[in-house]
Amino acid sequence: MRAAYVLLADLIGVVVFALAGRGAHGEGTGAGAVALTAWPFLVGCLLSWAAVRAWREPLRPRTGGALVIGTVLVGHVLRVLTGGTTHWSFILVSIIALTVLLVGWRLVAGVILRRRRSPAR
């Protein structure tokens, strides 16, 4: 799978995270509202992609794990630096949700790719 598609999948995962969070709190889910919530985490994801050179092994679950750490860390720092708030419970939910969204699909893709490569029985 091309790294650009993997990056796109990760960015979509971050947007889904922001959309789900806003929806769960009864906040607006329009494009602008979601973008306002998502942008710090999107920046975190992009910076993390560069920092860990995710394009080298984009489908590895450990790559996804590193991206979760960077995305959560940078995302919450940017929220605070730009006048937003954070809370330990939001950090915990971010870690869990982004692990599912950035690592989970890699695990599923790995199973599918292994099955495709294995000889027919």
pLDDT tens track for 3-57: 999 999 999 999 999 999 999 999 999 999 999 999 999 999 999 999 999 999 9
Calpha distance 112→67 (Å, rounded) = 22
**What is the total count of domains within the chain?**
1
Q: pTM, whole model, 2 decimals?
A: 0.91
Phi, psi of 57 (to 5 degrees): -140, 65
pLDDT confidence tier of residue 117, bands split at 50, 70 and 90? confident
HEC states along 3-38?
HHHHHHHHHHHHHHHHHHHHHHCCCCCCHHHHHHHH
Domain that holds residue 87: 3-117
Q: Which residue is listed with tokens 């009864």?
A: 26
User: What pLDDT is stored for residue 99 in this prediction?
Assistant: 98
Is the model's pLDDT at 68 over the cut of 90? yes
